[in-house]
Chains A and B, each alone.
Chain A
Amino acid sequence: MSSDGSKGSIRVPDAPFRPGEEASFDSWPWKPGDFSMPDPKTCEFKDTTELANGLVRVLDDDGVASGEWDPGLSAEELRNGLEHMVRLRIFDDRMMKMQRTGLLSFYMRSLGEEAVAIAQTMALQEQDWIFPTYRQPGAQFVRGRDMVSMICHCIGNEEDNIKGRQMPVHYSYREGRFISVSSPVGTQFSQAVGVALASSYKGLDEVTITWIGDGASAEGDYHYALNFASVFNAPVILNVVNNQWAISTHANFATGIGDFASRGLPYGLPSIRVDGNDFLALYSVTKWARERAASGAGATHIEVLTYRTGAHSSSDDPSRYRPGDEHTKWPGGDPVVRLKEHLINIGEWSEESHLELEEKIDSEVVEAYKEAVKFGDLANGPYPSADTIFTEVYEEVPWHLQEQHDEMMGGQS
């Protein structure tokens, strides 16, 4: 009997490393070229067992691309992807500084995961629907959203397109088919299947992509999504972004089997694990899944293996629960550095051009920030007018909301 009087024990998992411990990950046994690419249109779930238990990589540790999964992107496309990633990282840094100086209420960076939304969105068609979490804002850069508009949202000022109604980073961008971000984790995963099935019903060449975290994959919505996608053959790309951490909860608490991709197999979904810090591999796997979905062959389940380099959010302090340098030991390295080195290797980029790019984007972000605060800052406003509390709750304002609106306005409606 233990000291607290209980007779048995519960096996509670733990994170691999805690503060004060030396983090060290085994190097990956998988190399670029290890896996062939099945035909996306005829591939069945059982054909993907190796892909689910392995890891699709294109870039090796020296930044050299090889193997059947090399998407063969042009240098221009690669530079474009790199630019979006650098843009997102510098944008995030600036927004984080704004949060730290009281100019934003809250912020969430994509640090270390920039490739995920950017490579995957670039692999889609412009008519495809994006159903993100808060860790995929980068998709908006690919879809052409104006940075000033994004900052106005994060401030919640009078130009915020969602009128100060949600916390920062909960973007909505209909023009780019980027569907409103919701705080309850996982809900978008099952909804995305519905979006995709509406495309099927209408007979349109539209695919829906969605993401969920390793932590949220323990929610019912994850399982609803896989099951409905399988049963109804939905044209959807279901990504589990395994960045190891859900705030302080390690991925070991989300599943008892240690990995995520293979969980799609018993649902009958072709499942692939991909190096989430390898821009080329991500692009290629997503393009494969898009081709599969668009052909009518159905959904693909993808584990995007990565590491959350930053804190969960501006309210989080990861040094309380993991070694501070754990991210530097991650076998996948840094997605920006890896694509940069690849471009340099093929003679299409240089350290100098990278510095120039960073400087250009830095001033782009500063300019956008200055422009955005003209529409109001967090400390001083102006904020959206108070009566926006009552609009768009329903299509038309019902009488009881009108009464409450009038009460709030002191009878001066």
Chain B
Amino acid sequence: MTNMNMIQSLNSALDIMLDRDPDVIIFGEDVGYFGGVFRTTDGLQEKHGDHRVFDTPLSEGGIAATAFGMGLNGLRPIVEIQFADYIFPAYDQIVNEMAKIRHRSGGEFWSPVTLRTPAGGGIRGGHHHSQSPESQFTHTPGLKVVYCSTPYNAKGLLISSVESNDPVIFFEPKRCYRGPFYGDPHKVPTWSDHPEAEVPEGEYRIPLGQARMALEGSECTVISWGAMVHVCEQAIKDSGFSCDLIDLQTLVPWDKETVVGSIEKTGRCVIVHEAPKTSGFGAEMSASIQERCFYHLESPIVRVTGWDTPFPHTTEWDYMPGPTRIAAAIAQTQED
């Protein structure tokens, strides 16, 4: 085991897959010679060659289409969209092509692309370096949607995503690349000494569709993903209540057993995500929990989310769910 930050663990996963599978190929904007604007692919071109790790034109639609075509012809491309905010020129290729090809061709063709993209706020990125567009993809049959949160799960989930024969949209919470984020912008902790930053150097997998129980408790179930998992951890401590904290890890397909089991135990639920509230994946979770666990619920499910506005720049801390809002929501579930 080695202490790694999330950049290092993702890099390790990519390195392992390049070593292990000659069909793996990595490309995207700035990922080659430079090693990526966040350094995630640092050193991989030098080690594996520029025919396997390379830069592309600034063309998200072209990157997605090229990856899709390579996948049809037997390769296993891993591509980076530099910021999730810039994924939309590729949206048609992802939604109408990658997601549909296996079904529409009667299983004759498929394309196992893994599309990595840094997402979420907390880096003063304003409208277009901060969004968390997971629900734009969870609504598309044929895609798997993954959202990592720690160095350990980032590596294990990425290896599973690359090995998946289905297309995977892999969100990386950029605020957590170099340290967990507990909701206080003035504190910048690192991953050193964090138990979830103890990462095996070799390969391991976290199965897609499996959630992580980050904390165990009895009075409330808090469900989240990405950077918000760490904010929830802080909020739970601040609230003084005993809570299960479920890090969903995979949004499609999500881990029904873990979620239902927890709600049946606690009877109370808070769902937290950075993305806007309306039609966010929290709505799907809330509806599904209501359908499955109604008679176990002791109080209304509460969502704590980003507002239904564009993501702001200097006022981002008023936009993102913080420990105060989340702790208040946990307390609200205990009132009835």
Q: Which residues of A are interface residues toward B (Cβ below 8 A)?
A: 129, 131, 160-163, 165-166, 170, 172-174, 179-180, 182, 184, 187, 190-199, 201-202, 208, 220-221, 224-225, 227-228, 231, 391-395, 398-401
B144 within 8 A of A: yes
Residues of A within 8 A of B254 (CB): 400
23 CB < 8 A contacts A-B: A131-B69, A162-B106, A174-B108, A180-B101, A180-B105, A180-B108, A182-B96, A190-B69, A191-B66, A191-B72, A194-B67, A194-B71, A195-B70, A195-B73, A197-B66, A221-B61, A221-B65, A228-B57, A392-B102, A392-B103, A398-B253, A399-B256, A400-B254
Interface residues of B in 16-67 (CB under 8 A from A): 25, 51, 56-57, 59, 61-62, 65-67
In the complex, what's the smallest C-beta–C-beta distance from B115 to chain A, in angstroms?
A: 13
Across the interface, do B72 and A194 meet the contact criterion of CB distance under 8 Å?
A: yes
Given contacts A182-B97, A399-B253, contact A394 B142 (CB under 8 A): yes
Query: Bound state CA distance, A197 and B110, in angstroms?
Result: 17
In the complex, what's the smallest C-beta–C-beta distance from B91 to chain A, in angstroms?
A: 11
Query: Bound state CA distance, A220 and B91, in angstroms?
Result: 12
Known: A172-B108, A395-B164. 7 other contacts (CB 8 A): A129-B73, A160-B106, A182-B104, A201-B25, A202-B74, A227-B59, A392-B106
Q: Which of A160, A174, A201, A394 has the most CB of B within 10 A?
A: A394
Query: Which one of A131, A187, A194, A227 lies within 8 Å of B96 (CB-CB)?
Result: A187
In the complex, what's the smallest C-beta–C-beta distance from A158 to chain B, in angstroms?
A: 12
In the complex, what's the smallest C-beta–C-beta distance from B27 to chain A, in angstroms?
A: 9
B93 within 8 A of A: yes
In the complex, what's the smallest C-beta–C-beta distance from A344 to chain B, in angstroms?
A: 40
Nearest to A166 among chain B residues (CB) is B104
Across the interface, do B102 and A161 meet the contact criterion of CB distance under 8 Å?
A: no
B206 within 8 A of A: no
In the complex, what's the smallest C-beta–C-beta distance from B9 to chain A, in angstroms?
A: 26
B201 within 8 A of A: no
Given contacts A174-B108, A182-B97, A395-B102, contact A201 B65 (CB under 8 A): no
Residues of B within 8 A of A180 (CB): 101, 104-105, 108-109
B141 within 8 A of A: yes
Query: Which one of A179, A182, A220 lies within 8 Å of B61 (CB-CB)?
Result: A220
Query: Bound state CA distance, A160 and B105, in angstroms?
Result: 10
In the complex, what's the smallest C-beta–C-beta distance from B243 to chain A, in angstroms?
A: 25
Residues of B within 8 A of A202 (CB): 74
Nearest to B96 among chain A residues (CB) is A184
Across the interface, do A172 and B109 meet the contact criterion of CB distance under 8 Å?
A: yes
Nearest to A194 among chain B residues (CB) is B69
Query: Bound state CA distance, A163 and B102, in angstroms?
Result: 12
Across the interface, do B65 and A224 meet the contact criterion of CB distance under 8 Å?
A: yes
Q: Would you list the 4 A-B pairs with minimal beta carbon distance, nearest first? A: A194-B69, A224-B62, A190-B65, A198-B73
Given contacts A179-B72, A195-B73, A224-B61, contact A394 B166 (CB under 8 A): yes
Nearest to A398 among chain B residues (CB) is B253
Nearest to B143 among chain A residues (CB) is A394
Query: Bound state CA distance, A165 and B59, in angstroms?
Result: 31
B92 within 8 A of A: yes
Interface residues of B in 106-161 (CB under 8 A from A): 106-110, 141-142, 144
B89 within 8 A of A: yes
Residues of A within 8 A of B62 (CB): 190, 224-225, 227-228
Residues of B within 8 A of A231 (CB): 56-57
Query: Bound state CA distance, A165 and B100, in angstroms?
Result: 10
Across the interface, do B97 and A187 meet the contact criterion of CB distance under 8 Å?
A: yes
Across the interface, do A161 and B59 meet the contact criterion of CB distance under 8 Å?
A: no
Query: Which one of B77, B165, B209 lies within 8 Å of A398 (CB-CB)?
Result: B209
B181 within 8 A of A: no
Query: Bound state CA distance, A184 and B56, in angstroms?
Result: 24
Across the interface, do A220 and B89 meet the contact criterion of CB distance under 8 Å?
A: yes
Query: Bound state CA distance, A201 and B69, in angstroms?
Result: 13
In the complex, what's the smallest C-beta–C-beta distance from B231 to chain A, in angstroms?
A: 28
Across the interface, do A197 and B70 meet the contact criterion of CB distance under 8 Å?
A: yes
Query: Bound state CA distance, A174 and B107, in angstroms?
Result: 10
Nearest to B101 among chain A residues (CB) is A180
B68 within 8 A of A: yes
Residues of A within 8 A of B142 (CB): 393-394
Residues of B within 8 A of A179 (CB): 72, 105, 109
Residues of B within 8 A of A160 (CB): 106
B75 within 8 A of A: yes
Across the interface, do A199 and B66 meet the contact criterion of CB distance under 8 Å?
A: no
Nearest to A395 among chain B residues (CB) is B165
Query: Bound state CA distance, A320 and B182, in angstroms?
Result: 64
